[in-house]
Structure 1
Amino acid sequence: MTVEEVFENYTTAKRWLANTYMHLPAELNYMCGLSDTWARNPFTAGCDEMEIAYGGAASHYINNGSLNSSNSYSICPVWNECFMGVRKANIFLEHIDNTPLPEESNAVEFTEAIRKQWKGEAYFLRAFAYYQLVRTYGPVPIVDYVLPTSGDYTNIKRNTLEECIQFIVDDCDRAIEFLPVRFSGENLGRCSAGAAMALKSRVLLYAASPIYNGHTHFKDFVDNDGTHLFPISYDANKWNKAAAAALECINALEKAGHKLYDAKLPDYVNNYRDIYQELYNDEWIFWRNVEWYNHLDNCGTILSLKGFSILNPTQEMVDAYLMANGEVPITGYSNNGLTPIINSASGYEEEGYTTAEGDNGWSPAGIRKMYANREPRFYASINFSGQRWLGTTCDFWYTGKDGRRGAGSDYCKTGYLIAKIINPNANPSTGAGYTRKAWLYMRLAEIYLNYAEAINEAEGPAKAYPYINKIRARAGIPDLKPGLNKDQMREAIHHERRIELAFEGHRYWDVRRWGTAENTENKPIHCMNIMAGTSLQDDAYYERVKCEDRVFETKHYWFPIPQSEINITQRSLVQGPGWTEDE
């Protein structure tokens, strides 16, 4: 069947559009190995959120600095997958207007209204593919036509970053024009105008952020003809555009019935956990269904329940969660990251053990005090030694039933195991409790945070407070302190994003767009001393130790384009800043 024949019938045209959705990444596979194309996500463990105990994980290549133009496709095939999706969207948009309406006068399967809806979906899918390309590689070629499969590619070159951002925004606007804010029923899961507005909000926030907005690192990066590919100066007005897009998105979503998930309140722990477990709830904006993916739950389950125990939050991530009083427990580190600087106002205690159950039952008696009196999102997100899970306890010290001594190649490497996103009822030892899954790309809390960040930079803290405090209230912690200045509010918003959106695929990109990755990623990560300890209350286990060194150079703000793609264009497509053919 030729392409032209596909679009002679609306049924096969519909299948073509459905196939274009297949290039959306299902990013549930944190532990993806080299050349994994399905559910690819080396990014969550490729930043300071997590470590993967599995030695073949692609994230290790990011963390140890061995990413290069020859292996970048194997580490994560964003270039290939996204441009395949772009090509399919372009073919659809070029041909769908030729698809005839059914001859039956009462046919409802394909109408002019449905044609417009499908075009809106294609525009969004192309925009989302370009968003992934830009966040990964920076400026990329804009291909808004059907590129021949054979021909002269020597005219393919990068567009400027600002052209790429505008292209994504324009496609989002086209999608908004053709789509409803929210779908329901059999159309649930299709990209909507709400999703397009959310993507536009995110992309404009990125565009306003330091690395995208005249940063000194990249302002001198030019094409072969001398064209500057990044903005050469800072434009403060970009924050206004980002704020306006976020607020427009919030208003439209809330009018359509979207809201912060609150079905389990006042049980703040289970409520936060079930944002992910209760599929398609009112907070969700856009997602990809992945049906059954039991391997994720197995990787997030302790060894004694026949899990693999390899999704391991770093000590730094654990330290980031707030105390129950809303205070940051640790403000920094000394002694090469081994000694925490404790915020005395937080009530945090590094040593000693609790004598009674606390935190509404979420912190068991006898645990290390460093895990007591923490905010509800901590207990919904992190499993630690002594915490309960599926009728037993997590025993990560050396001789514990989930510890290193009795483990093989899979084990808990940091003394922590992810609880967020993991199904709390899935039991590998019995094979019971597994449920269908979806990867959530966008939810309302992110848009609140987008607006707060943008409006703080544009106008100051006043209008940011309500949106941050809505998130904190839903999490069961006090409001932000009044009277913060812009810099203090910026720090608070960055910290709130780190916690609220943890393990959802944001942190890797946030520290890069903020220009802070050279500080957060170019240093060791730490963990508990998993090679010590014979009981829950053995102090030797709770010694902070270095887990591994991590490497970050300026060039690591962007992935290198696969060298094979550079070669196809005979180098009209320039390699990323700082990268060479040998790297």
Structure 2
Amino acid sequence: MKKQSYIYKLLWLLPLVALMACSDDFLEKAPNDALDPSKIDASKAEELRNAIYAEIPGSDLVYQEGYADNGYSRNWWDSNGALIQTNAVSGSENFGYGEWNHYGDKGNSFGSIRTCNMLLAKLSDFDIDEDQANKLGAEARMLRAWLYMELTLYYGDVTIVERIDELYPDGVERNSASEVRNWILSELDEAASVLPVTNDKGKFNKAMAYALKARAAYYFGNYAAAEEAARYVIDKGGYSLYYAGSLSTEEQKDADFFAGLVDFADLGIDETAFIEGIFNYRNIWNVDYNSEVIVSKEYVATEDHGDFNRITSFLSPNLSEKQAWATIAPIQDLVDDYWLADGESTPAVPDKDTRADYYNGLRDEISTIQAGPDGDPSNPEDNLTFSEAVATIADELKSKPYMAEFLNRDSRLYASIVFPFSSVNTYFDGHYQEYNYSINNYGQTGFVWRKMSGGDDLVSVWGDSYHLSGADFPVIRLAEMLLIYAEAHTQTTGYDGTVTTELNKLRDRCGMPNVPNGLGKQQALDFIRRERRIELAGEGHRYFDIRLYEDGSRNGGYKGQQAASAVMQGQTYDPQGNPSALKVWDPRLMLMPIPTTSMDKNPLLKQNEGY
């Protein structure tokens, strides 16, 4: 059913686009008759343009959290994540190089690149004026650069193909990673020079090109270029951090629960700003085209165009009226890394066995309450539901040993992750979160995503068994630009007032205290990278982040606390002490293996080291 949903989301592409996107990979000895450009009518400019935008990544990006130390995807048929986490990945898998093979992983990027090249090749044939042709060409070049950015981050060296007639019947070698990365930045500069400040709704503009350049330059270790591009977006892009405004009735109930977990007076924290900050942050994913979103994947609440993940992939069964499988879930490591409410201290967390004792003790207490006065769980007359039982001790939860690790934490933890026994009124009125390890669809981590999940713009499909969402998925947002600027400026100049100014914008939005001043460079880099992990949790960046920090040629000379070799070690557990994600690091995991099928078709390809 998940694979079927992936297909449904692409059905809107017209047959000519489907033909291009699904043709044999042009780097894998595509036959000469695989695609005949002359069959594409010149009047199809807008259709081909829409095909370009169909290639923007969407909510499937969340599965990349399971490639690192933020998430866990337990099913091999959903994602390659567990294979990467455990160093078991091989040439049988694919990360955008060849044919699609898992729901949550990238498909054929070279097919998408061919779509971009097709539009570029046909521009002179379309019945459009020169300005429109130049604009469409810049849009195609920006998307093509985006695709190549992901390819080079996964594979290092990749082949640059800019023409549709380059079929390479005898195979083709890869361009070096440095050549590819310089070309990408140049392409984005060219696109930015042509794209308008304001474009058609949902289409690339000048600031979007600079935002993508900031991301690419950051990951390439070109901090001067990243700083400059991010600064342009911050100053001239016209974006602002999102603030939600008043709370709904259900949100207010959750807000009251969270307020009970924080000692505002003792910490000197503004309660109103903190509580509003939770929903300022969470609702970024619930309001389309809000002021913070730079680029988003557009969805519509229909069977063909809806988002499958917001409900089915991100939530556990108790949080949805329809199917919900928690197929990509946050793990304890991520929860532990959120700041305390002071915004700079690390929480004390119990060891596995102590945590399990605390959790099981609270769960047993609730089970006893559920059984009613007679203590007989088989007597329905006085039995309570799980949520009804939790409600009877809601005012006491703060004093329970298990809940101690959720007291006085960063507001973004409350906004981002549903943890056991927490209030979930925004999903079901009067409910609290239950966790059941024995049911796989609870995710086997103890947690599910609060940010990015749920919403009201839903449609029931496939025998009324599933919900699809029409809410768009932000792919690039202003917060990322602030973080890129902060880290890049620290690398090039140092941790100064311009850095703290940008970081404090994020803190103000979520009601958290200002960031510390006067940090040394290495201390500042560790701080900013952790702040980045917290702010961007779940959004698909972590896989690339920890490899950037690991790479001495890109990390500015400092690995730090968040590098892959430091964080990808050891078994993780759920709150009951059951095994969850296993993390194993090997230097070969800096790059992914080229798919065996691609190497079979292209004799000039050489496998990446270690595979």
* TM bracket, shorter-chain basis: 0.7 to 0.9
SS of 2:397's equivalent? coil
Are the structure 2 counterparts of residues 138 and 365 from structure 1 closer, same or farther at C-alpha, using a change threshold of 3 Å? farther
How far apart are residue 284 of structure 1 and its match? 0.8
Are the structure 2 counterparts of residues 289 and 49 from structure 1 closer, same or farther at C-alpha, using a change threshold of 3 Å? same
Q: What residue in structure 2 maps to residue 61 of structure 1?
A: 83
Structure 1: runs of 5 or more not aligned: 30-39, 102-109, 209-237, 341-350, 354-362, 397-401, 530-543
Letter in 1 for 2:277: Y
2:116 equivalent to 1:132: no
Q: Find 2:437's aligned residue among 404, 412, 415.
A: 404
Does the 8 A contact of 1:472 with 1:478 survive in 2?
A: yes
Are the structure 2 counterparts of residues 193 and 339 from structure 1 closer, same or farther at C-alpha, using a change threshold of 3 Å? farther
How far apart are residue 319 of structure 1 and its match? 1.1
Are the structure 2 counterparts of residues 574 and 338 from structure 1 closer, same or farther at C-alpha, using a change threshold of 3 Å? farther
Whole-Å separation in 2 of the counterparts to 1:326 and 1:132: 32
Whole-Å separation in 1 of the counterparts to 2:155 and 2:414: 36
SS of 1:45's equivalent? helix
Q: What residue in structure 1 maps to residue 245 of structure 2?
A: 264
How far apart are residue 526 of structure 1 and its match? 2.7
Q: What residue in structure 2 maps to residue 274 of structure 1?
A: 283
Whole-Å separation in 1 of the counterparts to 2:104 and 2:327: 23
Q: Find 2:182's aligned residue among 166, 171, 192.
A: 166
Q: What residue in structure 2 maps to residue 145 of structure 1?
A: 163
2:412 equivalent to 1:391: no
Question: Residues 527-557 of structure 1, C-alpha deviation per residue, up to 9 Å, x if partnerless?
Answer: 200xxxxxxxxxxxxxx56434222211111
Question: Residues 405-445 of structure 1, C-alpha deviation per residue, up to 9 Å, x if partnerless?
Answer: 5x3x4224122121110125589999899741223221111
Letter in 2 for 1:176: A
Does the 8 A contact of 1:425 with 1:434 survive in 2?
A: no
How far apart are residue 249 of structure 1 and its match? 2.7
Question: Residues 339-384 of structure 1, C-alpha deviation per residue, up to 9 Å, x if partnerless?
Answer: 89xxxxxxxxxx999xxxxxxxxx9651512212222211111111
Whole-Å separation in 2 of the counterparts to 1:338 and 1:119: 58
Q: What residue in structure 1 maps to residue 452 of structure 2?
A: 421
Q: Find 2:511's aligned residue among 456, 476, 480.
A: 476
Aligned pairs for 1:519-530 within 5 A: 519-529=566-576
Q: What residue in structure 1 maps to residue 479 of structure 2?
A: 445
Are the structure 2 counterparts of residues 528 and 414 from structure 1 closer, same or farther at C-alpha, using a change threshold of 3 Å? same
Letter in 2 for 1:60: A
Whole-Å separation in 1 of the counterparts to 2:62 and 2:448: 18
Q: What residue in structure 2 maps to residue 461 of structure 1?
A: 495
Whole-Å separation in 2 of the counterparts to 1:159 and 1:427: 44
Q: Find 2:227's aligned residue among 243, 251, 256.
A: 243
Q: Find 2:334's aligned residue among 310, 314, 317.
A: 317
How far apart are residue 508 of structure 1 and its match? 1.2
Paired-residue identity, %: 25
2:31 equivalent to 1:18: no
Q: Find 2:93's aligned residue among 68, 71, 87.
A: 71
SS of 1:479's equivalent? coil
Question: Residues 209-232 of structure 1, C-alpha deviation per residue, up to 9 Å, x if partnerless?
Answer: xxxxxxxxxxxxxxxxxxxxxxxx
How far apart are residue 57 of structure 1 and its match? 3.0
Whole-Å separation in 2 of the counterparts to 1:281 and 1:503: 19
Letter in 2 for 1:370: E
Does the 8 A contact of 1:268 with 1:376 survive in 2?
A: yes
Q: What residue in structure 1 maps to residue 598 of structure 2?
A: 565
Does the 8 A contact of 1:182 with 1:192 survive in 2?
A: yes
SS of 1:549's equivalent? strand
Does the 8 A contact of 2:312 with 2:326 survive in 1?
A: yes
Question: Residues 318-356 of structure 1, C-alpha deviation per residue, up to 9 Å, x if partnerless?
Answer: 11112222133337x897x7789xxxxxxxxxx999xxx
Q: CA RMSD in A?
A: 3.0
Does the 8 A contact of 1:54 with 1:410 survive in 2?
A: no
How far apart are residue 491 of structure 1 and its match? 0.8
Q: What residue in structure 1 maps to residue 554 of structure 2?
A: none
How far apart are residue 573 of structure 1 and its match? 2.1
How far apart are residue 310 of structure 1 and its match? 4.3
Q: What residue in structure 1 maps to residue 68 of structure 2?
A: 47
SS of 2:442's equivalent? coil
Are the structure 2 counterparts of residues 372 and 146 from structure 1 closer, same or farther at C-alpha, using a change threshold of 3 Å? same
Whole-Å separation in 2 of the counterparts to 1:243 and 1:288: 25
Does the 8 A contact of 1:89 with 1:126 survive in 2?
A: yes
Does the 8 A contact of 2:483 with 2:528 survive in 1?
A: yes
Whole-Å separation in 1 of the counterparts to 2:215 and 2:287: 24
Aligned pairs for 1:198-213 within 5 A: 198-208=211-221
Does the 8 A contact of 1:321 with 1:328 survive in 2?
A: no
Letter in 2 for 1:22: A
SS of 1:498's equivalent? helix
Are the structure 2 counterparts of residues 96 and 574 from structure 1 closer, same or farther at C-alpha, using a change threshold of 3 Å? same
Letter in 2 for 1:420: K
Whole-Å separation in 2 of the counterparts to 1:364 and 1:556: 47
SS of 1:90's equivalent? helix
Does the 8 A contact of 2:63 with 2:73 survive in 1?
A: no
Are the structure 2 counterparts of residues 118 and 455 from structure 1 closer, same or farther at C-alpha, using a change threshold of 3 Å? same
Does the 8 A contact of 1:78 with 1:132 survive in 2?
A: no
Letter in 1 for 2:67: G
Question: Residues 131-190 of structure 1, C-alpha deviation per residue, up to 9 Å, x if partnerless?
Answer: 11111111211112224446222xx2121222111111111112112212343xxx2111
Question: Residues 100-137 of structure 1, C-alpha deviation per residue, up to 9 Å, x if partnerless?
Answer: x4xxxxxxxx3222111111111111111111111111
SS of 1:188's equivalent? coil
Q: What residue in structure 2 maps to residue 195 of structure 1?
A: 208
Are the structure 2 counterparts of residues 88 and 453 from structure 1 closer, same or farther at C-alpha, using a change threshold of 3 Å? same
Residue range with higher mean Cα deviation, 128-137 or 43-52: 43-52
SS of 1:437's equivalent? coil
How far apart are residue 206 of structure 1 and its match? 1.2
Residue range with higher mean Cα deviation, 488-497 or 558-567: 558-567
TM-score, scaled relative to structure 1: 0.75
Q: What residue in structure 2 maps to residue 506 of structure 1?
A: 541
Q: What residue in structure 1 maps to residue 589 of structure 2?
A: 556
SS of 2:570's equivalent? coil
Q: What residue in structure 2 maps to residue 177 of structure 1?
A: 193
Q: What residue in structure 2 maps to residue 36 of structure 1?
A: none
Q: Find 2:299's aligned residue among 290, 302, 322.
A: 290
Letter in 1 for 2:574: C
2:44 equivalent to 1:6: no
Whole-Å separation in 1 of the counterparts to 2:495 and 2:148: 32
Q: What residue in structure 1 maps to residue 268 of structure 2?
A: none
Aligned pairs for 1:83-94 within 5 A: 83-94=110-121
How far apart are residue 513 of structure 1 and its match? 1.0
Whole-Å separation in 2 of the counterparts to 1:395 and 1:435: 22
Number of residue pairs aligned between Structure 1 and Structure 2: 477
Whole-Å separation in 2 of the counterparts to 1:252 and 1:338: 52
Q: What residue in structure 2 maps to residue 540 of structure 1?
A: none
Residue range with higher mean Cα deviation, 15-24 or 420-429: 420-429
Letter in 2 for 1:61: L
Whole-Å separation in 1 of the counterparts to 2:136 and 2:396: 56
Are the structure 2 counterparts of residues 369 and 321 from structure 1 closer, same or farther at C-alpha, using a change threshold of 3 Å? same
Whole-Å separation in 2 of the counterparts to 1:432 and 1:562: 33
Q: What residue in structure 1 maps to residue 410 of structure 2?
A: 375
Does the 8 A contact of 1:322 with 1:375 survive in 2?
A: yes
Are the structure 2 counterparts of residues 312 and 79 from structure 1 closer, same or farther at C-alpha, using a change threshold of 3 Å? closer
How far apart are residue 18 of structure 1 and its match? 1.9
Does the 8 A contact of 1:297 with 1:426 survive in 2?
A: no
SS of 1:524's equivalent? strand
How far apart are residue 49 of structure 1 and its match? 0.9
Whole-Å separation in 2 of the counterparts to 1:90 and 1:46: 30
Whole-Å separation in 1 of the counterparts to 2:350 and 2:316: 32
How far apart are residue 78 of structure 1 and its match? 7.5
Whole-Å separation in 2 of the counterparts to 1:77 and 1:410: 16
Q: What residue in structure 1 maps to residue 564 of structure 2?
A: 517
Q: What residue in structure 2 maps to residue 121 of structure 1?
A: 139
Letter in 1 for 2:181: I
Whole-Å separation in 2 of the counterparts to 1:65 and 1:55: 14
